[in-house]
């Protein structure tokens, strides 16, 4: 995953997400925050750039000290390819499964993908 920091990249991503509302709203809000100064220390990750399949936003890991605080450890997701979302969940370290966290998104298949990965890892999903 690539972390977007460049204002031009964030603007381009913002424009793309606006065309995908309402499904992209949770991610769009964080992208707007990051592009306008990032007072909350979030980061915007994409699987590839400029043609992305998955966008994930989260608090910077170094700013999230408590592994049990699922309020601070919130992830938002928007994907254009459910297969890419499933691959990201199961095969990368982007989602830290050793921490309590929340995932926010508005797309069909998101919950089912998370459920499958948690079941495979023997973790509890609430």
What residue ranges do the domains of the chain occupy? Answer: 2-121
Higher pLDDT, residue 61 or 47? 47
- Spatial separation of the C-alpha atoms in residues 44 and 27, rounded to whole Å: 9
Only one residue has tokens 């204002």, namely 7
- Spatial separation of the C-alpha atoms in residues 57 and 78, rounded to whole Å: 9
Burial of 107 (0-12, 13-18, 19+ CB in 10 A): middle
- Length of the chain measured in residues: 126
- What is the structure's pLDDT at 15? 96
- Sign (positive or negative) of CA dihedral 68, 73, 78, 84: negative
Residues 71-92: what's their mean pLDDT? 90
- What 3-state DSSP class applies to 102? strand
- What is the structure's pLDDT at 70? 80
pLDDT tens readout for residues 5-37? 999 999 999 999 999 999 999 999 999 999 999
- What is the structure's pLDDT at 125? 87
> What is the radius of gyration, based on Cα positions, of the chain?
14
pLDDT tens readout for residues 55-72? 999 988 787 778 888 888
Beta bridge pairs of residue 94: none
- What is the structure's pLDDT at 115? 93
């Amino acid at each position: 995953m690539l972390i977007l920091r460049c204002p031009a990249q964030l603007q381009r991503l913002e424009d793309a997400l606006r065309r995908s509302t309402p499904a992209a709203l949770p991610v769009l809000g964080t992208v707007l925050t990051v592009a306008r100064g990032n007072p909350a220390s979030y980061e915007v990750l994409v699987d590839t750039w400029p043609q992305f399949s998955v966008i994930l936003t989260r608090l910077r890991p170094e700013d999230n000290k408590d592994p049990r605080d699922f309020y601070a450890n919130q992830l938002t997701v928007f994907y254009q390819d459910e297969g890419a979302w499933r691959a990201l969940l199961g095969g990368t370290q982007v989602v830290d499964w050793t921490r309590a966290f929340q995932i926010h998104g508005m797309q069909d298949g998101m919950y089912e993908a998370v459920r499958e990965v948690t079941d495979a890892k023997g973790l509890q999903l609430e």
